[in-house]
Amino acid sequence: MNFMKINVRLYWPTMLVFLLVSISSCTQKDNTTESQPNIIIFFTDDQGYADLGTYGAEGFETPNLDQLAAEGIRFTNFYVPATVCTPSRAGLLTGRYPKRSNLHEAVLFPFSEGGLSPDEYTMAEMLKEGGYTTSCIGKWHLGHKEAFMPNNQGFDEFYGVPYSNDMDNYYYKDIDFQSPPLPFYRNTELIESGPDQQYLTKKYTEEAVKQIKNRGQKPFFIYLAHNMPHTPLFASPAFKGKSKHGLYGDVIMELDWSAGEIIKTLKEEGIYENTIFIFTSDNGPAKGSAKPLRGKKAQTWEGGQRVPAIITWPSKIPKGKVSDEFVNTLDLFPTLAKISSSKIPSELQLDGIDISEFLLDPDAKTLAERPFYFYARNGELEAIRLGEWKLHLKKSIGWNEKSEGEFQAALYNLNLDIGEKDNVATHHPEIVTKLSELATAFDAKL
């Protein structure tokens, strides 16, 4: 008996140390998991700069997204690297200018044979290797052949359509090609052909909510790419006639509802505080508003590529900030890599920068001035921005030679002239030369 008591006394300190180490290890593991935030990118299609309440929308309300802006950072100088769908999505998911992926010209069609090369390293692959589950919900538009589809690009789950909703059963008379009814997939299985588009926003939202509720132990990345408000416009019966702006306003209000349902689910599940929610659009509007910007979708004027954007992370990003710092979707790849502690291959050449420190402390941090290049729908470099200056070198869309004459190099000070109305190229020839040389050199490298 005494022998046993002596052994207990001898071994108790050792046992105590073992227990403390075990508890510490468990705690450390839990903290590591908690330090990796869930990530949602809420990507709309053709939503203009002024198509959100907090950006001055007229005729409809967006209370959920306005509240989201109040809980994080709203950007006034946020850009996408293309004027249309396919190249913009390629840039977002690779962190690289679309020309690097050879997807910088026009968009992919149901008759296209190509897509985003499986050799490209996507955001989904990066986050998956960093310990995330990955899901693509909605519109893909980076190649409908199996090799280019989401499940071969780093996404564990895919629920949606392979290209734009206007390509549903469309006849391309110039090449005598009849596209099929819009395919709707769950992963690689075709589950519906020609879905009733008035329910697309609702279906995507319900799928996102379901995935959040049925998540596993890993942090998740959901890329929710809505089809709306790309034309043709569709809203569910619950939203038809809801706005004073007709069907377009109804569509935007349903998208706002979608964001609200997802945010509500995050809160109910107790994970809202540790979820990064990124809202933005793939390019400027076709039907909506880009006021006070000049131009629209498919144009390299500001209205074609400056878009609304909100980023929140309640536990980390301060509330109620409005930033005029220059940011673009190419920055999301390196930023999310840093925040999620995911690794980027050393040989991968990215065009975006890590803005994580700025997001965490926007009042104390500023971003370095850097050039941004505007590639037109025809694939050609048309403009460059550096700081307050934007130089247009040529113009393929958004300029009428018959009424306006041959396009000449045009320089605008965006700090003073956000609407690009006052061409000051003749007053600043040295800036025109500098930006022209920068643009030519960069394009030659690509």
CB-neighbour burial class of residue 215 (10 A; exposed 0-12, middle 13-18, buried 19+): middle
Residues 92, 227, 60, 209: is their CA dihedral positive or negative? negative
SS3 255: helix
Exactly one of 85, 104, 136, 392 is catalytic; which is it? 85
Helices 200-213 and 246-268 sit at what angle, rounded to 10 degrees?
10
| Residue 11 CB neighbours (<10 A) | 11
CA pair distance 349, 368, nearest whole angstrom: 19
Best CA proximity match to 170, nearest among 189, 183, 159: 183
Known catalytic residue: 136? no
**E strands, 59-174, where?**
73-75, 78-79, 133-139, 157-161, 171-172
DSSP result, 342-356 = ----TT---SS---H
Known catalytic residue: 141? yes
> Are 311 and 61 a contacting pair, CB within 8 Å?
no
CA pair distance 382, 317, nearest whole angstrom: 35
Best CA proximity match to 194, nearest among 173, 172, 165: 165
Exactly one of 26, 104, 136, 141 is catalytic; which is it? 141
SS3 29: helix
Q: Cis link prior to 81 (omega < 30° from 0)?
A: no
> Are 255 and 204 a contacting pair, CB within 8 Å?
no
CA dist list (Å): 257 to 39, 100, 164, 235, 300 = 19, 36, 22, 11, 31
- What contacts 77, CB < 8 A, 6 or more positions away? 306, 323, 324, 325, 326, 327
Q: How many CA atoms lie within 13 A of 77 on its CB side?
A: 17
Alpha helices in 244-347 (DSSP H): 246-268, 302-305, 332-340
Enzyme catalytic residues: 85, 141
